[in-house]
A = this chain, B = another copy of it.
Amino acid sequence: MPALDHVLTALSDPTRRAIVERLSRGPARVTTVAEPFDMSLVAVSKHVRVLERAGLVRRARRGREHTLTLDARPLRRVAQWTWRYEQFWNARLDRLEGLFSKKGRRS
């Protein structure tokens, strides 16, 4: 099970999130995945490797072609982690902010 560090690092780059999005619409070869991006195939190949390290992409070699598929399970772990703070993103911030603004609103 790849470290959450690796999963979040992988997702922090917009190109890699776009690759995830692309693969969610079905498996594809490396060249096909690379096609829409304004960068070299080598650069995309490296991004794919980062996604593999995160466990988000599986690679199946068939001859010279490598077909990539999405494995979304690590995303679930990200969702689970963030979900722990659900109560906080629903909470109004006014109460907390009141502690700091306009000096000295007690309680």
Q: In whole angstroms, what is the CA distance A88 to B91 when docked?
A: 30
By a CB distance below 8 angstroms, the chain B residues around A12 are 5, 8-9, 12
Q: Assuming the A-B contacts A5-B13, A78-B78, A96-B27, are A89 and B101 also in contact, with contact meaning beta carbons closer than 8 angstroms in the complex? A: no
Q: Is there a chain B Cβ closer than 8 Å to A11's Cβ?
A: yes
Number of this chain's copies in the complex: 2
Contact yes or no, B67 A100, CB < 8 A: yes
- Name the interface size band of chain A: 35 or more
Distance to closest chain B CB from A54 (angstroms): 10
Q: Can you list 10 pairs linking A and B with CB atoms under 8 Å apart?
A: A8-B11, A12-B12, A58-B96, A60-B97, A60-B100, A62-B100, A69-B93, A69-B96, A75-B85, A79-B79
